Amino acid sequence: MPQPTNLTDLTVANGEPLVWGRRTYVMGIINLTPDSFSGDGLGPALDSQAGAAVHLGLGFQQAGADFLDLGAESTRPGNRPITAETELDRLLPALKALVGKVDIPISVDTYKSQVAQAALAAGATLVNDVWGLKKDPRLAKVAAKAGAPLVLTHNQKGTRYGDLLADILTSLGSSARAALEAGVAQENIILDPGIGFGKTPDHNLEILGRLKEFDALGYPLLVGTSRKSTIGLVLNQPPDQRLEGTAATVALAIAGGADIVRVHDVKEMVQVCRMTDAVIRGWRPPGWDR
């Protein structure tokens, strides 16, 4: 897929042009890690990962996903960091196998500039940085040079805040300015409040209830709640039994203004998004004439 000059040049599900506010876009998660918190990682067998990733990616596309998000390093709490070389060994075979097989944009979930550069060269379209340029600021220049959209997530070590929402908004604003100063086009920046990253369960619930306040930053918003531990704590359910809890949080995120939701269960969450969009955004399916 050729690199866009900005996000609104992208086509998503069924070749539809991306138009912010028209409906909620769905990003399907493909974990290439052996230690995914949600239990959905494709595992360490590199000779089979590429085929598994293609099978999953095509299934997600058929189910209505607008983006795929490939991650080769676990972001679960307490995970052990891996080298860029190890990350690329996991990532590139699957990415190269997917490019040309799917018709929707592929995002790479990495905070390392070296990995982002190689992934964009191999055909990825977006970079999803879970550290919002705090770990490797050079990533912004890589995205700028490639003309690639950049997701900037709020994250921090520890869970102490002076004022939760104010602190997160300030940090995300700083990340966005760093991206702009590195040459990333304003139209290519998406922000993520980072539910589950450096927050307590109560913080996560508060953020989900106050998403409207992120409108002040003026960027599209990505929200990822899928199967996260807060849902498990509220419902007393393991990761593979959090579908209904995820559905509730996705609907609430859309009501709060989310433009993209990042999910594991694409088929089910596409339906949640469309029903919620019909109420919140006035979306109607093709052929609607009632």
Extract the tokens encoding 215.
Answer: 């409108």
In a domain, 5, yes or no: no
Residue 8 pLDDT grade (very low, low, confident, very high; cuts 50, 70, 90)? confident
In a domain, 285, yes or no: no
**CA–CA dist 136, 277 (Å, integer):** 36
| Residue 74 near residue 33 (C-beta atoms within 8 A) | yes
User: 222 forms bridges with which residues in the sheet?
Assistant: 260
In a domain, 4, yes or no: no
**Do strands 189-192 and 67-71 pair parallel, antiparallel, or not at all (unpaired)?**
unpaired
Residue 229 has pLDDT above 90, yes or no: yes
From the list 278, 276, 267, 202, the residue with the least C-alpha distance to 26 is 267
Residue 169 has pLDDT above 50, yes or no: yes
Cα–Cα distance list, 281 to 28, 255, 259, 276 (Å): 21, 9, 11, 8
Mean pLDDT of 217-236: 98
CA dihedral 152, 156, 160, 161 (to 10 degrees): -30
Residue 283 has pLDDT above 50, yes or no: yes
Cα–Cα distance list, 277 to 83, 94, 123, 148, 220 (Å): 40, 32, 31, 27, 16
Instruction: Give pLDDT, residue 44.
Output: 47
Residue 272 has pLDDT above 90, yes or no: yes
In a domain, 255, yes or no: yes
In a domain, 10, yes or no: no
pTM summary value: 0.93
Residue 2 has pLDDT above 90, yes or no: no
Selecting among 23, 90, 134, 262, the annotated active-site residue is 262
Does residue 52 sit in helix, strand or coil? helix
Instruction: Give pLDDT, residue 40.
Output: 53
Task: Report how many domains make up the chain.
Answer: 1
Q: Which residues contact 132 (CB under 8 A, 6 or more apart)?
A: 152, 153, 154, 155, 171, 172, 175, 194
Cα torsion 74, 94, 146, 150: sign: negative
In a domain, 9, yes or no: no
Mean pLDDT of 155-175: 98
Selecting among 112, 134, 199, 228, the annotated active-site residue is 228
**CA–CA dist 72, 282 (Å, integer):** 37
Which domain range does residue 32 map to?
A: 23-280
Q: What is the mean pLDDT of the chain?
A: 93
User: Which segment of 11-15, 76-80, 157-161, 265-269 scores lowest on mean pLDDT?
Assistant: 76-80
- Told to judge if 101 belongs to the known catalytic residues of this protein, a careful annotator would answer no
Neighbours of 89 (CB within 10 A): 14
DSSP 162: S
| Residue 70 near residue 91 (C-beta atoms within 8 A) | yes
From the list 58, 57, 12, the residue with the least C-alpha distance to 30 is 57
In a domain, 175, yes or no: yes
Instruction: Give pLDDT, residue 4.
Output: 47
User: What whole-number percentage of the chain has pLDDT above 70?
Assistant: 92
- Told to judge if 80 belongs to the known catalytic residues of this protein, a careful annotator would answer no
Residue 246, domain CATH: 3.20.20.20
In a domain, 286, yes or no: no
From the list 113, 101, 15, the residue with the least C-alpha distance to 66 is 15
Mean pLDDT of 218-245: 97
Residue 142 has pLDDT above 80, yes or no: yes
Mean pLDDT of 35-50: 54
Residue 79 pLDDT grade (very low, low, confident, very high; cuts 50, 70, 90)? confident
| Residue 279 near residue 79 (C-beta atoms within 8 A) | no
The string of pLDDT tens digits covering residues 17-41 is: 999 999 999 999 999 987 544 445 5
**CA–CA dist 33, 222 (Å, integer):** 22
Instruction: Give pLDDT, residue 221.
Output: 98
Residue 263 has pLDDT above 80, yes or no: yes
